Each structure stands twice: as C-alpha cells, then as structure tokens.
Amino acid sequence: MARPTTFAGRVDFAVDIRLLGRLEASDSGGNPLEIPGEMQRGLLAMLAASYPRLVTTDRLIGALWSDDDVRDESHLQVVVSRLRRAIGADLVATVAGGYRLDAPAGSIDVGRFRQHTNRGRQLLTLGRPGQAAEAFRQALAQWRGLALADLRSFDFAEDLGRGLEEERIDVVEWLMDAELQAGDHHLVVSDLAGLADSHPTRERLWCGLGR
C-alpha cells in the first residue's frame, strides 16, 4: 500500500476501493471511509473505474452535472477538494487536462476482478482447468452485488454497471467451462440455473445446464 504522508495536520492513507456492489472505500487498516455527498462518490467511482488513466475535466463535468448552469470547472474543483479530504490528498492527482487516481496497483476491486479473470483464461488455455476454475472463483469473489448499486442515478454508472455485469457473466461461463473440463459439473449447476433464467439469451449458460 502507499506510504502514509502528513497532510493538513492529519495522515493521508492508501485506500481500497470497491465498485462491484455499493461504492465502498477503506483505509490501509481496513477501516471504512465515509465519502460524503453523491458528487464526491460519483467522482471517486469515475476515477477508480478509469484507473490508472486520467479522466478529463470535461468528461467529469459532463458526467456529474446535468444542469448546464452548473457545468463549471470551479464546481468540480470543490468536489475534488472534498474527496481529497475524505480519502487523502495525494490519492487524487491533478494532471494536465484532468485528474487521475494515484492509488497502488491492486487497490481497486475491478482491477483485481480482471486480474484473476485474465489468469484464469491463461490457465484454461494451458489445459489446467482446475486451477483456472479457482482463479475464476477468486474473480467472482470480488462481487458484493449490483455494481455501483447506489450510483445508478448517474448515466455513467448505469452504463458502467451494465458493462461490468456482462464481464461477470463472461467469467461465470468460463468458470462453467473450466469446471466441466475438470469433471466438476455439480459445482456450478445450481448457480447456472438462476443465471440462465436471468440471462435467457446467453446460450452457453443453457448449454451448460444441458450437459
């Protein structure tokens, strides 16, 4: 985790940020952090979802405000300042044209989800389905519910959430393939039944149930 540094009479801390459910954040000791205000929460979600890339000022303003009267950089600067007070000043970096979350690698659940997913796919390609299945299970363990469930009033969160859900179902299908190749069909049948009903167009789920 990032090394704590002194800031305005207090200590900055590294964070763990979770988007795969309600937006949550905790410090390096696992203590929950309060992110006050929907704007600050939306800003953190956008920065975390784009990590490690920067998010332009124009994109942030367009995503967080719908009223043309308040689409102003000064309003965004206030939101950035408040978020910095909540999670640590050094974790929201100002870069040319926008802002970037300056967090340690592995500090965001979406990144961990994708890392485990990529490892599982590599192991499946190498003909190691048992190990691949374990990697896929670790990927799915990052989920706590509907992605960004508390921020769906923002259009970007709705779009991002739908995309992440598609990624999750992809992983479920790969897990199904890995379990079937490993001869462990019984481990996924119960989960597949509910998912197949929820996603009737996903033919691989129905095919898995039919084996």
- CATH for 161: 1.25.40.10
Q: Is the pLDDT of residue 20 over 90?
A: yes
pLDDT at 11 over 50: no
Q: Confirm whether 20 is domain-assigned.
A: yes
Give residue 66's pLDDT. Answer: 80
Residue 202: pLDDT over 80 = no
Query: Across the chain, what does the average pLDDT equal?
Result: 85
Domain region containing 134: 109-210
Query: Model pTM?
Result: 0.83
For residue range 159-200, list pLDDT tens digits in order: 999 999 999 999 998 998 898 898 866 666 555 555 555 545
In a domain, 1, yes or no: no
**129 upstream amide cis, omega within 30 of 0:** no
Q: Identify the pLDDT of residue 3.
A: 38
The answer to whether residues 144 and 77 belong to one domain is no
Asked whether residue 40 carries a pLDDT value surpassing 90, the answer given is yes
Give 77-124 pLDDT, tens digit per residue: 999 999 999 999 999 999 999 999 999 889 999 999 999 999 999 999
Whether 88 is covered by a domain: the verdict is yes
Band (pLDDT 50/70/90 cuts) for residue 69 is: low
91 and 159 housed in the same domain:
no
Residues 49 and 75 in one domain: yes
The reported pLDDT for the residue numbered 186 is 63
* Same structural domain, 159 and 89: no
- Percentage, residues of the chain above pLDDT 70: 79
